[in-house]
Amino acid sequence: MDSRHLEAIFDECLPEAPSSGGEILREIREKLLPNCVHTGHGGYLGLITSSPLPIGVIGDLIASAINQNLGTYSIGPGAVSIERRTIRWLCDLVGYGPKSGGNLTSGGMLANLIGLKLARDHASGQQAQEKGPSGEWGVYTSEERHVSVDKAADVVGLGRSSVRNVETDDEFRIRLDSLERSIESDLRSGVRPACIVAMAGSTNTGAIDDLAALRTLADRHGMWLHADAAYGGGLLVSHAWSHLLNGLERADSVTVDPHKWFYAPVDVGAVLVRDEAALCRSFGLRPPYLTDDSDSSEDRYQYYVHGLEQSRRFRALKVWMSFKRYGADQIGRWVDANVGHARRIHEIAESSPRFTSAVKPPMSAACIRYLPERELSQEQLDALHYQAFQRIEQGGEFWIGTTRLKGRTWFRACAVNYRTTDGHIRRLMELLESECREIELTLSR
């Protein structure tokens, strides 16, 4: 449905007169609910937004009702403790030691921004906070990075052109030979290496870079290593696959989004830091209107000196409640089931003459492409994929995405969904094949 039609549904002037709660709820039922993508439905296999756990929904409701503001200890002491405990659990999952810390953010975008800011401050010898960055810097990351890295490089003043778009191998992991060449070439021309952003679960295919090799390279050149596990962090509770993230604990900072693969409702991301003191070095200003006497004793944890944001929602509650209600054990079983769904899509595609799969999925994202029976041009084939995507969306049974990989268009199905079953996957593949075949008939000459 196009957005103009929807804007017309909600087109009205600012209400001057009150309405009853019942009337407002009726409008929500009639106008809003039919125009939502139902991310809680087992057929939602789209952009990485989870089927929200009911306990998380309740957590959000309670968080709003008690309205604790975590920016400052004095107006949310218990809530600060719960966020600290939640961060502790996430740090433990990563394998960080007792000196680690972090904070919850609106999502991976903000967590990566904080990671890049810590990296910049480190690379400048803690000068950039005062003087701004000077000279030219290199940020090394793969062509499969999330766009938040480019935005972060811009915001922290290194500029988008500091981001080196390093090519990936057949499994979409950063190529170490290309990376080394890029660093060497920068060093020769006076560009200073600032940091490496490792993918620990790329958005498209769940690719995991060689974290140990990236640590070695970062150390050789005095660089910060930030690992983007916004999506992939879910694998930390996997019973079968958590070893794939070995080495994550050696990154200086890590992004993990509980609102992705820990099935929390949006929004809640996290930036975790191996040495928590880095947060204070980067953000530790204490304005007089926030400081109280007890601050001097250091026994109150003030998030405002450990992070970018001031007023902050009590995001930890839904994550804390979810881990208590289901345990890491059950959440890990859902994660493993989702990996199984992506593997199933891969297997069905590979055993069919009509599909090919980009790679055996290490996580829950599968990218597959239709192979037409007749000769089609590249443009026709791209159009076929977009049309099939639209038909699937309109059909209402499933939601999957499309993406570009190595210059081609692919379907991308990604389950971060505890309601998805093998039945959904079989049905999706049947539907995809029949839609693609039908569209092919309309396209071929």
What CA–CA distance (Å, rounded) separates 207 from 155? 26
Whether the link from the prior residue into 267 is cis, omega within 30° of 0, is yes
Among 120, 122, 146, 313, binds ligand PLP (CB under 6 A): 146
Does residue 253 bind ligand PLP (CB under 6 A)? no
- Distance in Å, CB of 228 to ligand PLP, minimum: 5
Please check whether residue 278 is in contact with residue 301, taking contact to mean a CB–CB distance below 8 angstroms. no
Does residue 263 bind ligand PLP (CB under 6 A)? no
Size of the site for ligand PLP (CB under 6 A): 14
Among 162, 182, 203, 403, binds ligand PLP (CB under 6 A): 203
Here's the x/- map for ligand PLP, 231-250, by CB under 6 A: it reads as x-------------------
Instruction: Report the residue number, 68 or 203, with the smaller CB distance to ligand PLP.
Output: 203
Distances (CA, A) of 101 to 148, 249, 270, 358: 22, 12, 10, 37
Burial label for 352, CB within 10 Å (0-12, 13-18, 19+), is: middle
Does residue 257 bind ligand PLP (CB under 6 A)? yes
Does residue 48 bind ligand PLP (CB under 6 A)? yes
What CA–CA distance (Å, rounded) separates 26 from 23? 5
Does residue 107 bind ligand PLP (CB under 6 A)? yes
Cα Dmax for the chain: 79
Kindly state the helix (H) or strand (E) to which residue 357 belongs, with its residue range: strand 355-357
Q: Give me Rg for the CA atoms of the chain.
A: 23
Alpha-helical segments (H) within 286-372: 316-351
Stretch of 106-114, 311-319, 349-357, 413-421 lying at the interface with ligand PLP (CB under 6 A): 106-114
Closest listed residue to residue 204, CA positions, set 271, 145, 123, 285: 145
- Distance in Å, CB of 146 to ligand PLP, minimum: 3
CB atoms under 10 Å from CB of 69, counted, come to: 16
Among 42, 43, 56, 108, binds ligand PLP (CB under 6 A): 108
Stretch of 90-98, 107-115, 174-182, 242-250 lying at the interface with ligand PLP (CB under 6 A): 107-115
Does residue 262 bind ligand PLP (CB under 6 A)? no
Stretch of 151-159, 223-231, 274-282, 288-296 lying at the interface with ligand PLP (CB under 6 A): 223-231
Does residue 269 bind ligand PLP (CB under 6 A)? yes
Binding stretches for ligand PLP (CB under 6 A): 48, 107-109, 112, 146, 148, 202-203, 228, 230-231, 257, 269
